[in-house]
Chains A and B, each alone.
Chain A
Amino acid sequence: MAKYVIVGASAAGIGAVEAIREVDPVGAITVISEEPCPQYSRPMISDFVSGKADFNKMKCRTDEFWKENNVEALTGKKATALNLTEKTVQLEGGEKVAYEKLLLATGGKPFVPKMEGSDKDGVFTFTTFKDAERLAAKIDSINAKAAVVIGAGLIGISVTEALLKRGLKVTMVELQDKILSLLLDAKASDLVEAVVRKAGVNIVTGQSVQKILGKPGNEGVVDGVILTKGDQVPCDLVIVAIGVVPRTELVTGTAVKINRGIVVDNMMQTNVPDVYASGDVTEAYDFIMNQNRLLPLWPLAVLEGQVAGYNMAGKKTTYMGGTNMSSLKYFGTPIVSIGLANPKEDPALEVLVKHDAERNVYKKLVLKNNVIVGLTLVNCIERAGVSFYLMKNAINVKKFKQKLLSDDFGLATLPVSLQRKMCVVQ
Chain B
Amino acid sequence: MKRIIAKQELCMGCGLCEVYCTVQHSKSKDIIKAYNSECPKPISRVRLEVNKPISFAIQCRHCEDAPCVTACLSGAMQKDEKTGLVTHNPDKCMGCWTCIMVCPYGAIKMDQQGKVVAKCDLCQGLEEPACVANCPNQALVFKEVKL
Question: Which of A53, A338, A382, A426 touches B106 (beta carbons < 8 Å)?
Answer: A382
User: Is B50 touching A408 in the complex (CB atoms < 8 A)?
Assistant: yes
Chain B binder among A83-91, A117-125, A409-417: A409-417
Q: Which residues of B contact A389 (CB under 8 A)?
A: 104
User: Is B97 touching A411 in the complex (CB atoms < 8 A)?
Assistant: no
Interface range on chain B (Cβ under 8 Å from partner): 35 or more
Q: Which residues of A contact B58 (CB under 8 A)?
A: 410-411, 424
A306 CA / B66 CA spacing, docked (Å):
13
From residue B68, how far is it (CB to closest CB) to chain A in Å? 8
Q: A41-B74, A43-B73, A382-B106 are in contact. Are A412 and B97 (CB under 8 A)?
A: no
Question: Which of A59, A336, A338, A383 touches B97 (beta carbons < 8 Å)?
Answer: A336
Q: A44-B74, A386-B106, A422-B104 are in contact. Are A298 and B56 (CB under 8 A)?
A: no
Q: Which residues of A contact B74 (CB under 8 A)?
A: 41, 44, 57-58, 60
> Does A164 interact with chain B (Cβ within 8 Å)?
no
Q: A327-B97, A329-B97, A426-B7 are in contact. Are A386 and B145 (CB under 8 A)?
A: no
Q: Which residues of B contact A413 (CB under 8 A)?
A: 51
Q: Which residues of A contact B92 (CB under 8 A)?
A: 57
Q: A381-B100, A382-B110 are in contact. Are A425 and B91 (CB under 8 A)?
A: no
User: Is B101 touching A336 in the complex (CB atoms < 8 A)?
Assistant: yes
Q: Which residues of B contact A426 (CB under 8 A)?
A: 5-8, 141
Q: Which residues of B contact A329 (CB under 8 A)?
A: 94-97, 115
Q: A302-B70, A329-B97, A410-B49 are in contact. Are A388 and B75 (CB under 8 A)?
A: no
User: Is B98 touching A424 in the complex (CB atoms < 8 A)?
Assistant: no
Q: A423-B61, A426-B6 are in contact. Are A47 and B94 (CB under 8 A)?
A: yes
Q: A41-B74, A43-B96, A388-B104 are in contact. Are A412 and B115 (CB under 8 A)?
A: no
From residue A372, how far is it (CB to closest CB) to chain B in Å? 13
Contact with B along A40-54 (1 / 0, CB 8 A): 010110010000010
From residue A371, how far is it (CB to closest CB) to chain B in Å? 16
Interface centre among B6, B50, B106, B145 (most CB of A within 10 A): B106
Per the 8 Å Cβ criterion, residues 101-147 of B in contact with A are: 101-110, 115, 141, 145, 147
User: Is A385 touching B105 in the complex (CB atoms < 8 A)?
Assistant: yes
Residue contacts A-B, CB under 8 angstroms, 29 given: A41-B74, A43-B73, A57-B91, A60-B72, A60-B73, A60-B74, A60-B75, A298-B73, A298-B98, A302-B70, A306-B70, A329-B96, A329-B115, A336-B100, A336-B101, A382-B109, A385-B100, A385-B105, A385-B107, A386-B106, A411-B49, A412-B55, A412-B56, A419-B8, A423-B147, A424-B58, A425-B5, A425-B56, A426-B5
Shortest 8 CB-CB contacts between residues of A and residues of B: A60-B75, A299-B71, A412-B51, A389-B104, A412-B49, A385-B103, A327-B97, A425-B8
